[in-house]
Structure 1
Amino acid sequence: MRFGVQCPQPIFAQDPQMHIRFFVFSYNRGEYLQNCIDSIRQCAPGHPITVMDDQSSDPQTRQVLERLSEHCQIWSPKGNEGQSKHGGLYNNMQAALEMADGKGLICFLQDDTQLVRAISPEEITQINAYFENQAKAGFIQPAFIRGCNRATDDAHTHYDAQTGMYFVDRKKRSVGTYYADILITRPDRLKAVDWQFEQREPANEQQAKRHFTPMAYLANPFAAWLPNVPAYRGKVKTWALRRAEVQTGAGFNPVGILSEAESDALARRDKALAPYAEDWLTPLNGEVAKPWIYYPLQGRRWLKRFNNLEVKLRKLLG
C-alpha cells in the first residue's frame, strides 16, 4: 500500500490508554513533516498528534504548519535558550513530556521519520501490558532496525519470547541499549524518576541505564527513519555537510506503507530474523543505495573533520 491509499480504520475506545499520543519534533523541513503527519493520520487515525516545531523560519515549512494546525496541535518554544547541536530538540522533548499525563502511551518521532503500517488496538494493548508487567521498563523503540548496523547488531540482537520484544546489546557503543530519541514511553514512568532530558543522546543513554532495564525493540515495528535525508546540526549547514549531501545524493525519500499482506508477513516471519528496514520497506522516489545511510557525513571522515572545524570556528566567532 502506498501513500494516498487509506490504511484499515481501527476502532479505538474512549479510554486514553487505548490511544498513542504522537509528538513529532521538526525544524525547517516542511515536506518531511507533512509526510510524517500524513503517515500517522493514515496508519493511526484518531490518535492525537502534537507537532513540536523548533521555531522554523522556512516559508514552505511555515505554510505546512499552518495547514497542519487544522487537525494537529502545534507547539513552538519561546526564545533560544538551551540550544545544542540538535537545536532545541531535548528541551522540546522535555516540554512534550511535561504536556503528557498519566499512563497513556506517548510516541516521539522526528520529521525525517514516518509510520509504515497500520497499528491495531491489540498491539496497543500488548504495549501497555509490557509496561504493566515490566516495572523497570522505561522505553520501547518502535522503528525498524537500521541495516547499516547489521554487521555489528546481528550477533547482539535477541528475541525474548516471554515479552515478545527484541533487545539489542550495544553496550560498547554510546547509544541504543537503553535509550533512543525515537521512542515509546509512559509519562508516569519517566516522571516517577524525575526524568530530565539531557542535551545529548549518549547522556540520555546513561540516564536511562541508571533508572531502567534495557530498551525493548518492537518485534513488528511500525515506524522508520527515512533513508539518506539532508540534515541540520545546530540549525545550520556547514560547507562539509552540504558537500556530503551532494556526494550522497541526499533527498526526500519517503517509504511506502506496508499492505495488509506485507504486514501479516512481517508478523508471521521467523523471529530469528530481526526486522531490518531494507528487508521490508520500499522508497517511493526511486532506488536508494543499500545499506541506507541516515546522516550525510556517515562514513566520510575528512568531511566530518572539516564540519567539526567549521562548527568550532562559528562558536569562536560568535
Structure 2
Amino acid sequence: MAATDLNGDVEVAIFSYNRPAYLKNCVASVQRHLPQARLRIFDDNSDDPELIAYLATLPDGTVVQPDKQSGHARHGGLYPNMQRAFDSATARYLLMLQDDTQVVRELDQSDFDAIDTVFSDDPNCAFLAVTFLRGARATRYHRLLTPDTTRGVYDTPALPDQPDYAKRIAYFDISLWHVERLRKAQWQVQNSEHDNVLQARAMFSAMPHLAAPFVFHVPEVPVYRHRTQTLAARLARRIVGTDPKRFVPMTSPEVAAMKARDLSHWPIAEDFLICVDPKVRRPFVYKDVKRHWWLALLSKLEFKLRRR
C-alpha cells in the first residue's frame, strides 16, 4: 500500500515516561505507517538517561515537556499533557497514543474515508476507537457492542432512552479525537480515564470501534505506579526483560483479508497480531507483573500492604 498524503487531517500525540525502548518502538511505528502525520511527544519529565538522550535527537518542536509540578498526581502528568496536546492540535483528527502502543499496519485512502464516514454519519460522535480488542475482554465487548456493516464499526446498539445506553463505551485514552467537535463542546480532559468516560457519556454519543483497527498495546510492559516500581515490578524487569514485545507489522494481504472479513469475526488482537518474540504469553497480558502467576500475586500483596 502506498502511504496516503494526509494533508494535515491527522496528527499524533505520544505520551511517554521512562520507557525509552517502548517510546522508540512507538515512534518508529508512527513514522513507518503514518509518515505524513504531524508527530509530537509529550514526555512526563522522564529522568531515564537513555530516554533523555533519545529525546534530544528528535527535531525541534517534537518534544513537549510539562512543568515540574504536574508529575505528582497518581497518573503523573499524563492527563495535563493530553490537555496540552488537545489545546495545541492543528489537524482535524488527533490520534492519542502512549509509549507502550504500536501502529501495526499501513493506512490507505480507504481507511481515512472510513474514518470520515463514521464521524459524518453521527454529528454527536467525538471519539473513535482504533485499537484491536483485548481477548480477555471479549465477553464484555460482545455484550456492549454490535457489528454495524454499513458504517464499518462495532457500536452500542442501545438507544438513548434504553437502560444499557448509560453503560455505553464512550471513551478510551488511546483513541482518535475529532478536534473541532471537542472544542465546540468545550471538552476538558479529566484526571482519570474513568472520569473522562463519565464526561464523554454526558456530552457525546457512544464511541464506535473501527472494524479494521490499526493500533494496539504492546504486551508485558514494565509498570510504574506513582512514578515508582514495586518489588514485583523490579523482579519482572529481570525475568520478563525490558525489550518491547513488538508486533510484526501486518502485511498487505493480511490487511486486505481483515477488511474483507465478515464482521461476525471480531477484531480480537490475538486473532490478527503476532509478536516478534514467539515466547510472548497468549492470550496477551499487558503488565509484565502478570506474565507469571507468582509475580502477579506478589504485586497484589504489595499493593494491599501499601494501602494499610
**C-alpha deviations, 1:261-314, integer Å up to 9, x for none?**
11111111111111011111111122212111112455846632422543x57x
Classify 1:278/1:13 alpha carbon distance in 2 versus 1 (closer, same or farther; 3 Å). Answer: closer
Residue of structure 1 in register with 2:89 after alignment: 100
Cα deviations by residue, 1:101-148 (Å, 9 ceiling, x for unpaired): 3x6111000000010000112311321232222111021111110112
Kindly indicate whether the alpha-carbon contact (under 8 Å) linking 2:126 and 2:204 is maintained by their aligned counterparts in 1: yes
Distance 2:152 2:252 in 1: 21
Paired amino acid for 2:150: Q
Distance change in 2, residues 1:259/1:204 (3 Å): same
Tell me whether 1:226 sits opposite 2:218 in the alignment.
yes
Q: How many Å apart are 1:57 and its aligned residue?
A: 0.8
For residues 60 and 34 of structure 2, the distance between their equivalents in structure 1, rounded to whole angstroms, comes to 14
- Alignment of 1:62 onto 2:52: yes
Where 1:80 maps in the other structure, the secondary structure is: helix
What corresponds to 2:13 in structure 1? Answer: 23
Structure 1 Cα separation of the partners of residues 101 and 168 of structure 2: 17
1:294 corresponds, among 274, 283, 286, to: 286
Q: Secondary structure at the match of 2:52?
A: helix
Structure 2 counterpart of 1:50, one-letter code = R
Once residues 170 and 297 of structure 2 are traced to their aligned partners in structure 1, the CA distance between those partners, rounded to angstroms, is: 27
Q: How many residues in Structure 1 have an aligned counterpart in Structure 2?
A: 299
Conserved 8 A contact 1:22-1:50: yes
The letter of the residue matching 2:28 is: D
Partner of 2:72: 83
Structure 2: stretches of 5+ with no match in the other structure: none
Distance 1:275 1:194 in 2: 32
Question: For each residue in 1:8-42, what CA deviation from the matched residue of structure 2 results, as whole angstroms up to 9, or x when unmatched?
Answer: 4324164x23xx10000001111111111111111
The CA deviation string for residues 45-91 of structure 1, in whole angstroms up to 9 with x for no partner, is 11111011111110111122122x13871111112236322211001
Alpha carbons 1:178, 1:209 under 8 Å: kept: yes
Asked whether the equivalents of residues 36 and 112 of structure 1 are also in contact (C-alpha less than 8 Å), the reply is yes
Distance in 1, matches of 2:186 and 2:303, equals 35
Cα drift, residue 234 of structure 1: 1.9
| Alignment check: 8 A CA contact 1:9 1:45 kept | no
Following the alignment from structure 2 to structure 1, what is the Cα–Cα distance between the partners of residues 137 and 288? 16
Structure 2 residue 131 is matched with structure 1 residue 120: no
Of the structure 1 ranges 262-271 and 155-164, higher mean CA displacement relative to structure 2 is found in: 155-164
The root-mean-square deviation of aligned C-alpha atoms, in Å, is 2.7
Please name the residue that 1:304 is paired with.
300
Asked whether the equivalents of residues 87 and 233 of structure 1 are also in contact (C-alpha less than 8 Å), the reply is: no
Structure 2 SS opposite 1:119: coil
Residues in 1 aligned to 2:48 and 2:211: alpha-carbon distance in whole angstroms:
37
Matched ranges for 1:115-154 at <5 A: 115-154=103-142
Letter in 2 for 1:146: R
Percent identity of paired positions between Structure 1 and Structure 2: 29
Aligned in 2, Cα 1:289/1:283: closer, same or farther, shift over 3 Å? Answer: same
Report what 1:192 is aligned to.
184
2-side partners of 1:56 and 1:168: how far apart?
Answer: 38
Q: Deviations over 1:195-234 (max 9, x none)?
A: 1111111111100000011111110001110011111122
Gaps of 5+ in 1: 1-7, 314-318
Distance (Å, rounded) in 1 between the aligned partners of 2:279 and 2:167: 29
Q: Is the Cα–Cα contact under 8 Å of residues 171 and 196 in structure 2 kept in the other structure?
A: yes
Residue in 1 that maps onto 2:175: 183
CA contact (8 A) 2:222 2:236 kept: no
* Residues in 2 aligned to 1:295 and 1:175: alpha-carbon distance in whole angstroms: 26
Is contact 2:168–2:201 with CA below 8 Å preserved after alignment?
A: no
Shift of 1:160: 1.1
Taking structure 2 as the reference length, the TM-score comes to 0.88
Contact 1:175-1:201 at 8 Å conserved across structures: no
